[in-house]
Amino acid sequence: MVSHILIPKHEVITKKEVGELLNKYNVTKDKLPKIYEFDAAITELHTKPGDVIKITRKSPTAGTAFYYRVVISGTIHGKGASERTEEEIAEYADDVGEEEDESSEI
């Protein structure tokens, strides 16, 4: 697997781990942040829509922080700007904003 020092560790978690995660935080999969199935950070994981990815990040305050995202179909990069719907643009902007805010675990 090819990795880069600026990309945190990404891994697919098991169905059992997904169940424990959703139960622990009392959420459903549709409430988790999204990641496109063709995102460069997970292409080598061979994910499919519905899989949950665990991202392990180094944190100056917490030491190690875990972040979870559910895989969704498609890619925002596969379309030209004029072909994107307002909903896709808003969802992409939300995802980017969440990546910049590393203070939240979910």
DSSP conformational letter for 15: H
Within a domain: 19: yes
Within a domain: 106: no
Could you tell me which of 33, 36, 15 has the C-alpha nearest to residue 99? 33
User: What's the domain range around 60?
Assistant: 13-98
pLDDT of residue 43: 87
Domain count, the chain: 1
Whole-number percent of the chain with pLDDT over 90: 51
Mean pLDDT of the 69-81 span: 72
Per-residue pLDDT at 80 exceeds 50: no
Per-residue pLDDT at 45 exceeds 70: yes
Whether residue 65 contacts residue 57, with contact meaning beta carbons closer than 8 Å, is answered with: yes
Indicate which CATH number applies to the domain containing 23: 3.90.940.20
Whether residue 57 contacts residue 64, with contact meaning beta carbons closer than 8 Å, is answered with: yes
pLDDT of residue 63: 92
